[in-house]
């Protein structure tokens, strides 16, 4: 039995990694959901409860690979979405078929979410705007692509975003779009903010209070823009909404703060540097999601609708 | 309602003439005639209580003088004559009465003096946009005028925040007289900002004025009222649970009189009890919601059910309400709260909230090591009770008074507060001093968590602590130290007023998190929960 589980785990993780390799542009949560759907199709469980348990186990496996908030929130939402219907049919196989159909529907919906967000957000970028962004976010890239396609002229400042210099990747992608881009040090955010008109960043997770969890350095940027009175916009798809409610930086669970490999290998986490931080809702102006343009207090409304 | 206005027309015009000559006083016969006509119309529309009202009205006839006659207990304060009265009589309007009439157009229609009605019509047609009043608490709310063409629906101010309005007081007196409940009189000089609230003395409990045996009020309710007014039963949850238990006793002892339906008669039996309890101590939001629930459950009883079954059903409903909304909710809230308490935390609590004490005891039992700072304030000194309970469990505690709160806050990691009610705009209504603690905690960047069950959520909206509050006995502030009692003769000093407030409201910006049995929500999501709850029902 244990041997079986181990085999399944390896298969699962391989499938997940393959998804990420094939299409580097999709969100990790989407890849996770595709994997879970595949798992559902192959599962040979006998009961609904057993099915739920195995799906939860599969999600746990995937978070073991990629510890980001998005994967765990995506998994939970997937589970919710398919089980919201199920239980009218007596026959398990018919139930499973329903679930698979709903799973496909869910996947299709969320694949469209990035374009919906881009459509909403690009109107907020005016001609001649100077935008500040942080690290590498595919959603922000899509938004800027759309704005460029609408023949808007704007320039972008990107922070380098150590420790993995993801900002340089973003700068490369933007240069390909012929957008004038400057890479700045993480420490230079306060310096550059007076030249900037608006700040747009992505999010790894959106929490119940309306705050966000994102790459380390976001909180600093939000504090500085609040002081400079610059609008701070967040773009995120709705599957990133997660049922967490951190009160402060300390309150964010450790499993999200560090990379998955670090969590497994390192004994004393206090010597490791966290890779994400929490930005409270009071610093955020607006959130652009595929559910619409929301204020931070409206996020809780939407979460209640999704989850309750 | 329109036709009643039309038929009254010729009568009212005559009376207006006569009233003018007599100096605005109706004779008894006219009053009786009007009353009869009005009742006749009401009978055609209303289903309940016509007979009872007539009887009580007839009782009152010898008593009533030229004071305004009380309206029959049928509640819908429909505007009888607003629509079709073509020409209001041009009676000169004294300014003060006009103001009073404008204050409560829905209520004033109850006045049977015709010239007053006519005067109000003049008022109403001139003043279209009345001030929108604050939402009413559930037990005293009455449905608004449906077919009023002249003006949109006007909400009435609840009675308990109009203590300085003599007409409201008179109306209240009449209503209590009819229900055979003694009226409690205010005590002492009231600070002018709060003169619209009642202020009672604990040394004069309402029960002294009751006759023995009191046939109108059930003894369980009398006992409850006394416990409320003397402060023996205090605290939002305790009061609600005591109320529900007393109602269970009432229902057990209840027998339906012949020719009456249980669903309607029982509700009417409960009304004087609620007035009595309101006189003993103003009802809290949680009690209001509980009463609403009971009345709804009673109204669902169909006439087919036998009395015994109906009573058992009601008793079970009450039991399940207590169990679901209070006891199990506390367990759920404790579960969520324990996630937020970590090792080595220093938690600040204020006063004595049964829910917060429960949470801390549960967390301690789970083995989390934390330290508690209990903040207390005069004159109630409720923190001592909380301290006693926590120390008994073995939790290490510190005790300070509220004046020291900015001194100890740098050491605090979290603040846990209980709530009396959560208002629809996200404001938290709680014991006086809570908003102070939330403010200082915000200044020190300490997270503030409010724990509140959903049955305490109310539809009211309030942005300050003045509009609707409770004034406790001012003599509580008198203290004897070293044999000297400083404020003993405070009533003699004309310029001195003692203010003993009970509640205050905290804005949602100071609160980081509200923990309810539905989960953890931000303060601004209270209306969403209310909406979801209404949809459920």
Confidence of residue A206 (pLDDT cuts 50, 70, 90): very high
Answer whether A249's CB lies under 8 Å from A266's CB: no
Looking at residue B83, its pLDDT comes to 40
Mean per-residue pLDDT, A217-243 = 93
ipTM over 0.95: no
**How far B52 CA sits from the closest chain A CA (Å)?**
47
Looking at residue B151, its pLDDT comes to 56
Residue B259 CB-density burial (10 A; 0-12 exposed, 13-18 middle, 19+ buried): exposed
Put simply, whether B530 touches A (Cβ < 8 Å) is no
Asked if the Cβ–Cβ distance from B521 to A304 is below 8 Å, we say yes
Spell out which chain A residues touch chain B, with contact meaning CB-CB distance below 8 angstroms.
208-210, 243, 245, 247-248, 250-251, 281, 297, 300-301, 304, 308
Asked if the Cβ–Cβ distance from A297 to B518 is below 8 Å, we say no
Instruction: Examine the pLDDT at A128 and tell me if it is beyond 80.
Output: yes
Point out the residue among A251, A297, A308 whose CB comes nearest to the CB of B522. Answer: A297
Pick the more confident residue, A292 or B185: A292
Residue among A206, A207, A209, A223 with most chain B CBs within 10 A, to mutate: A209
Point out the residue among B342, B513, B528 whose CB comes nearest to the CB of A304. Answer: B528
Q: Which of B401, B418, B422, B415 is nearest to B445 (CA)?
A: B415
In whole angstroms, give the CA distance from residue B84 to residue B6.
7
Pairing of strands B513-516, B428-431: unpaired
A136-192 pLDDT tens trace? 999 999 999 999 999 999 999 999 998 889 999 999 999 999 999 999 999 999 999
In what side-by-side order are the strands of the sheet with A276-279? A205-206, A212-215, A276-279
Annotate B167-233 with DSSP letters as a single string: HHHHHHHHHHHHHT-PPPPP-SPPPGGGTTS-B--TTS-GGGGS-SS-SSS-HHHHHHHHHHHHTSS
**How far A58 CA sits from the closest chain B CA (Å)?**
24
Looking at residue B154, its pLDDT comes to 65
Looking at residue B488, its pLDDT comes to 87
Answer whether B93's CB lies under 8 Å from B17's CB: no
Instruction: Give B-chain residues touching A308 at CB under 8 angstroms.
Output: 518-519, 532
CA torsion sign for A116, A121, A126, A127 is negative
Q: Which of B7, B442, B473, B529 is nearest to B198 (CA)?
A: B473
In whole angstroms, give the CA distance from residue B17 to residue B26.
11
Put simply, whether B512 touches A (Cβ < 8 Å) is yes
Looking at residue B102, its pLDDT comes to 41
Looking at residue B147, its pLDDT comes to 44
Looking at residue B525, its pLDDT comes to 86
Confidence of residue A295 (pLDDT cuts 50, 70, 90): very high
What phi, psi does A129 have (nearest 5°)?
Answer: -75, 150
Annotate chain A with DSSP letters as a single string: -HHHHHHHHHHHHHHHHHHHHH-TTS-HHHHHHHHHHHHHHH---SSHHHHHHHHHHHHHHHHHH---HHHHHHHHHHHHHHHTT-TT-S-HHHHHHHHHHHHHHHHHHHHTHHHHHHHHHGGGS-TTEEEEEES--HHHHHHHHHHHHTT--EEEEEE--TTTTHHHHHHHHHHHTT--EEEE-GGGHHHHGGG-SEEEEE-SEE-TTS-EEEETTHHHHHHHHHHTT--EEEE--GGGB-S---SSGGGS-HHHHS-HHHHHH-S-GGGSPPSEEEE-GGG--EEEETTEEE-HHHHHHHHHHHH-
Pairing of strands B428-431, B448-451: unpaired
With a CB-CB cutoff of 8 Å, which residues 334-353 of chain B face chain A?
A: 340, 342
Answer whether A137's CB lies under 8 Å from A170's CB: yes
Looking at residue B14, its pLDDT comes to 61
Task: List B521's β-bridge partners, or say none.
Answer: B514
Q: What is the pTM of this model?
A: 0.76
B353-412 pLDDT tens trace? 999 999 999 999 999 999 999 999 989 999 999 999 999 999 999 999 999 999 999 999
Confidence of residue A27 (pLDDT cuts 50, 70, 90): confident
Looking at residue B423, its pLDDT comes to 92
What would the 3-class secondary structure string for B464-491 be? CCCCCCCECCHHHHCCEECCEECCCCCC
Instruction: Give B-chain residues touching A243 at CB under 8 angstroms.
Output: 519
Whether a cis peptide bond, with omega within 30° of 0, leads into A145 is no
A66-103 pLDDT tens trace? 777 888 888 888 877 776 665 666 677 777 788 788 88
Mean per-residue pLDDT, A116-131 = 92
In whole angstroms, give the CA distance from residue A148 to residue A150.
5
Answer whether A236's CB lies under 8 Å from A212's CB: yes
In whole angstroms, give the CA distance from residue B182 to residue B515.
41
Asked if the Cβ–Cβ distance from A210 to B522 is below 8 Å, we say yes
What phi, psi does A201 have (nearest 5°)?
Answer: -135, 160
Answer whether B222's CB lies under 8 Å from B210's CB: yes
Put simply, whether B313 touches A (Cβ < 8 Å) is no
Instruction: Give B-chain residues touching A295 at CB under 8 angstroms.
Output: none
Point out the residue among B449, B513, B528 whose CB comes nearest to the CB of A301. Answer: B528
**How far A301 CA sits from the closest chain B CA (Å)?**
6
Asked if the Cβ–Cβ distance from B528 to A209 is below 8 Å, we say no
Q: Helix B236-253 vs helix B354-365: angle between axes, to the nearest 10 degrees?
A: 110
Chain A and chain B share a number of CB contacts under 8 A equal to 38
Annotate B514-534 with DSSP letters as a single string: EEETTEEE-GGGHHHHHHHHH
Give 10-residue mean pLDDT values along chain B (537 residues): 43 54 54 74 64 50 42 39 40 41 49 72 66 40 44 69 84 85 84 87 80 77 91 91 94 87 87 90 90 91 84 93 94 94 95 95 95 94 95 95 95 95 93 95 95 91 90 89 88 89 94 92 86 74
CB neighbours of residue A108 within 10 Å: 9
Point out the residue among B513, B520, B524 whose CB comes nearest to the CB of A297. Answer: B524
Taking only Cα atoms into account, the Rg of chain B, rounded to an integer number of angstroms, comes to 26
In whole angstroms, give the CA distance from residue B504 to residue B506.
7
Q: Which two tokens stand for residue B526?
A: 């209270």
**Residue B324 DSSP label:** I
Q: Which of B111, B118, B148 is nearest to B130 (CA)?
A: B148
Answer whether A245's CB lies under 8 Å from A208's CB: yes
Number of helices followed by number of strands (H, E) in chain B = 18, 12
**How far A54 CA sits from the closest chain B CA (Å)?**
25
Alpha helices in B341-382, H assignment, sequence order: 354-365
Residue B160, classed as helix, strand or coil, is helix
Instruction: Give A-chain residues touching B449 at CB under 8 angstroms.
Output: 247
Looking at residue B131, its pLDDT comes to 45
Could you tell me what percent of chain A has a pLDDT over 70? 96
Q: How far is CA B149 from CA A147, B10, B146, in A?
A: 53, 21, 9
Asked if the Cβ–Cβ distance from A300 to B521 is below 8 Å, we say yes
Which residue is associated with the tokens 């946009």? B129
């Amino acid at each position: 039995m244990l041997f079986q589980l181990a085999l399944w785990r390896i298969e699962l993780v391989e499938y997940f990694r393959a998804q990420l390799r094939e299409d580097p542009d999709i969100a990790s949560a989407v890849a996770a959901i595709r994997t879970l759907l595949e798992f559902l199709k192959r599962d040979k469980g006998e009961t609904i409860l057993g099915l739920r348990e195995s799906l939860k186990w599969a999600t746990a496996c995937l978070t073991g690979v990629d510890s980001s908030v998005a994967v765990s929130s995506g998994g939970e939402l997937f589970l919710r979405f398919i089980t919201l219907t199920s239980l009218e049919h007596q026959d398990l196989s018919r139930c499973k078929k329903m679930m698979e159909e709903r799973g496909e529907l869910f996947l299709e919906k969320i694949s469209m979410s990035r374009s919906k967000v881009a459509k909403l957000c690009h109107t907020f970028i005016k001609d001649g705007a100077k935008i500040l962004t942080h690290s590498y976010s595919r959603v922000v890239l899509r938004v800027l692509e759309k704005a460029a396609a609408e023949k808007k002229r704007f320039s972008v400042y990107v922070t380098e975003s150590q420790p993995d210099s993801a900002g340089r990747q973003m700068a490369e992608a933007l240069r390909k779009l012929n957008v004038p881009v400057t890479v700045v040090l993480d420490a230079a955010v306060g310096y550059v903010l007076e030249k900037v008109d608006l700040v747009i960043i992505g999010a790894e997770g959106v929490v119940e209070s309306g705050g966000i969890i994102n790459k380390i350095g976001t909180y600093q940027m939000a504090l500085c823009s609040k002081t400079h009175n610059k609008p701070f916009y967040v773009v995120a798809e709705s599957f990133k909404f997660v049922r967490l409610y951190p009160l402060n930086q300390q309150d964010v669970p450790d499993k999200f703060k560090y990379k998955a490999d670090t969590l497994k290998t390192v004994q004393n986490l206090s010597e490791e540097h966290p890779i994400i931080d929490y930005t409270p809702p009071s610093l955020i102006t607006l959130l652009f999601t595929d559910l619409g343009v929301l204020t931070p207090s409206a996020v809780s409304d939407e979460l209640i609708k999704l989850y309750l | 309602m329109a036709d009643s206005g039309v038929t009254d027309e010729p009568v009212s015009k005559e009376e207006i003439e006569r009233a003018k000559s007599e100096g605005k006083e109706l004779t008894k016969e006219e009053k009786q005639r009007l009353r009869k006509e009005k009742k006749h119309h009401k009978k055609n529309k209303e289903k309940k209580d016509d007979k009872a009202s007539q009887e009580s009205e007839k009782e009152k006839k010898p008593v009533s003088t030229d004071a305004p006659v009380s309206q029959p207990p049928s509640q819908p304060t429909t505007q009888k004559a607003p629509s079709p009265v073509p020409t209001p009589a041009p009676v000169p309007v004294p300014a003060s009465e006009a103001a009073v009439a404008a204050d409560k157009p829905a209520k004033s229609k109850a006045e049977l003096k015709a010239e007053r009605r006519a005067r109000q019509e003049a008022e109403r047609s001139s003043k279209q946009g009345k001030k929108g009043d604050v939402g009413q608490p559930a037990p005293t709310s009455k449905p608004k005028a449906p077919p009023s063409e002249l003006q949109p629906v006007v909400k009435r101010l609840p009675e308990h925040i109009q203590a300085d309005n003599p007409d409201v007081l008179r109306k209240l007196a009449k209503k209590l007289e009819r229900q055979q409940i003694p009226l409690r009189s205010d005590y002492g000089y009231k600070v002018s900002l709060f003169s619209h609230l009642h202020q009672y003395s604990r040394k004069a409990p309402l029960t002294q004025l009751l006759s023995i045996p009191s046939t109108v009020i059930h003894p369980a309710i009398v006992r409850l009222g006394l416990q409320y007014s003397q402060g023996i039963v205090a605290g939002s949850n305790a009061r609600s649970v005591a109320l529900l238990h007393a109602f269970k006793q009432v229902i057990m002892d209840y027998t339906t009189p012949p020719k009456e339906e249980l669903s309607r008669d029982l509700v009417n039996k409960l009304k004087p009890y609620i007035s009595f309890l309101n006189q003993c101590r103003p009802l809290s939001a949680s009690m209001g919601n509980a009463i609403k629930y009971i009345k709804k459950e009673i109204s669902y009883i169909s006439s087919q059910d036998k009395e015994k079954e109906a009573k058992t059903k009601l008793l079970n409903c009450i039991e399940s309400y207590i169990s679901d909304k209070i006891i199990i909710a506390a367990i759920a809230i404790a579960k969520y709260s324990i996630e937020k308490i970590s090792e080595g935390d220093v938690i600040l609590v204020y006063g004595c909230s049964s829910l917060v004490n429960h949470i801390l005891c549960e967390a301690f039992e789970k083995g989390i090591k934390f330290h508690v700072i209990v903040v207390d304030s005069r004159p109630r000194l409720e923190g001592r009770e909380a301290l006693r309970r926590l120390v008994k469990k073995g939790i290490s505690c510190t005790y300070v008074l509220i004046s020291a709160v900015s001194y100890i806050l740098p050491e605090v990691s979290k603040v846990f507060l209980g709530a009396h009610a959560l208002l629809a705009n996200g404001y938290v209504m709680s014991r006086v001093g809570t908003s102070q603690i939330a403010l200082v905690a915000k200044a020190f960047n300490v997270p503030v968590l409010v724990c509140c069950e959903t049955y305490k959520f109310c539809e009211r909206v309030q942005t300050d602590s003045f509009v609707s509050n409770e004034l406790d006995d001012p003599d509580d502030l008198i203290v004897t130290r070293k044999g000297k009692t400083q404020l003993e003769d405070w009533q003699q000093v004309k310029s001195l007023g003692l203010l003993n407030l009970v509640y205050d409201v905290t804005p949602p910006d100071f609160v980081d998190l509200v923990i309810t049995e539905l989960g953890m929500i931000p303060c601004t999501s209270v209306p969403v929960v209310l909406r979801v709850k209404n949809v459920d029902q």
